[in-house]
Structure 1
């Protein structure tokens, strides 16, 4: 990752010695003329002052590249955000009270411990964990485990792929019938 980050600034200014063929068209086809698709006039940047400022901006990022490698899955982050919004919805303002901290901590406990976090908290405080609470937690954990096992099965994975293919086919058919309904930066006027 560090090598790829080091190559970003020189790549934009026409220096391809640090580039990797995986992201650099110049390295993939060295004999042909290379044009930048994302830069103005499709040519390399020339301003040395801009290059120095960009390099100063990227140096701390390159230095800390090892920290960025283990950022984790965005799916896990999205799951955690969804769980927090279930306990602290945006329609209610919890930001000025300590209630938000308790709600976020409860979410972290739920993600780490599962449904048993309530009964474990009660036990730590010397209270009864509650028979109904424990039973409900067990039931929810069993359902969660069944869903997890079912999601891992080959038939479920095949079904997800088939549904994905079906959605893509339907979307293509709808676009062929209706045309581009939403398109950024363009105004489409049709006469009937």
Structure 2
């Protein structure tokens, strides 16, 4: 399964950490842009960066917290690249021959991903139009976990119809997922009881 770098946060970020990070910003879209700003660039991890000289101690602490959460999210994603659970290709920026090529695993020690723009940069090179492929170490367990995260999100949105959720999962993952894996994830999230409902006394 191949997908763009821009989808990595929704698929691989820890959901709780990401929601904490998003809470520091006005919208999830702003949060996604900010986490793609490398340290030292204006706007890094906080929308009020340009006001740093006039901020209160409380806002300084808030900014530090946002940075710490952002770094943890990116660190967790980086381990997936370094373990080759995620493999990437991209178009090298500034080359005379803009041919897509594999991004060496070791480069993810330096590359900073920009999810909103679907590119990554470092001091030694940058790549545009990044595509990822996912090679989980335990495919069934990992797929079930991702499916559970998706179902949790849809449950919070008020959707519980199995037929709709199966279609949602196929669209989300880009292919039909095995019925057994979906059923196990569905049962875990919705905890449907078997048999007839108990009659009221």
TM-score bucket of the superposed structures, by smaller chain? under 0.3
Q: TM-score, normalised by structure 2?
A: 0.27
Q: Indicate the structure with greater strand content.
A: 2
Q: Indicate the structure whose relative CO is greater, using CA pairs within 8 Å and at least 6 residues apart.
A: 2
Tell me which structure has the larger Cα radius of gyration: 1
- TM-score by length of structure 1 reads 0.28
